[in-house]
Chains A and B, each alone.
Chain A
């Protein structure tokens, strides 16, 4: 007996019960039919396990596909909470910055450029002195008049002649009519 202490505490009935359980054992042979049934049971259980594993895989794939299908990818709202960072600007004068459309009227005074009041309004006297306009014409607010419409005193300069004048100069390209009329009185 493995547990002598327990056996010693058994009464007569319990000892007789133990003896009866051991003595009633009849020898049974392990027959070929037992072996065949055992191997058949192993094969059947192997099939069941394989089918269960396949069903589990199918369920896992189906669940994964369903989850991906229902994933709310079309309603993504990933805006940043902070405002967009602005480029750092320094309070330097406009003339020292890179050339832009707001500087062209202050430098050349060409009539083709559109006047930009916002850029030329804070122009300093130094920047206006570089233009062809006279100092007296430079106002504090009328920047467009200094760049586009020159004063009457500057109209005589050849650089500021209007295009129609140049058209009359080019007119002698047709000398066929005017010289003939001029020679007739001398005859």
Chain B
């Protein structure tokens, strides 16, 4: 029973790790290590509710935990950073490309938003969720979620004006 549960859980995590990690990275404004810790914490919580949500929507549960933790992260000090001897990510020679440049600009712009604005923008434009569902995940009224998203987009519009060319 425990083995089957662990097998299903590991299979789900292995299949969805890349997508969830990208979501965590956007929610943290490009902080790779913090995104990894946030995802680990959310997946640990998923383990204890796996029998309940395994047949329904485990990814939605992780997304909810991730977004709430990211939006709440500004109110508490972050203790998850650990020093390592070897850097886990080393830039390759041919890695400098337009995609990487765009990603770096996007993450830098997202990092300048407040956690609530960042979470609302990511859930709205990356996860394609309606305002009602964004508000439900963030635990706030719909008007507040819509306001967070609108203000975040307005600020990104100024920050990314050179990356995304305006029409006309």
| A residues in contact (CB < 8 Å) with B | 1-3, 6-7, 12-14, 16-18, 20-30, 34-35, 37-38, 41-42, 45, 49
Contacts and interface: CB of A to CB of B under 8 A. Distances in A.
B126 A21 contact: yes
B142 interface: no
B130 A17 contact: no
B119 interface: no
B128 A35 contact: no
Given A22-B126, A41-B40, A14 B153 contact: yes
Interface of B: 10, 13-14, 17-19, 21-22, 26, 36, 40-41, 43-45, 47-48, 99, 102-103, 106-107, 121-122, 125-126, 128-130, 153, 156-157, 160, 163-164, 166-167
A21 B106 contact: yes
B17 A12 contact: no
Contact of B128 (A2, A28, A37, A38): A2
Contact of B160 (A17, A22, A34): A17
Contacts of A12: 164, 166-167
A13 B157 contact: yes
A20 B47 contact: no
A24 B103 contact: yes
Q: Which of A16, A37, A38 has the most CB of B within 10 A?
A: A38
Given A26-B103, A42-B44, A45-B44, A18 B22 contact: no
Contacts of A7: 128
Nearest to B19: A25
17 contacts: A1-B128, A7-B128, A13-B160, A13-B166, A14-B153, A17-B156, A21-B125, A22-B126, A24-B99, A24-B102, A24-B107, A28-B17, A28-B22, A34-B36, A38-B13, A42-B47, A49-B48
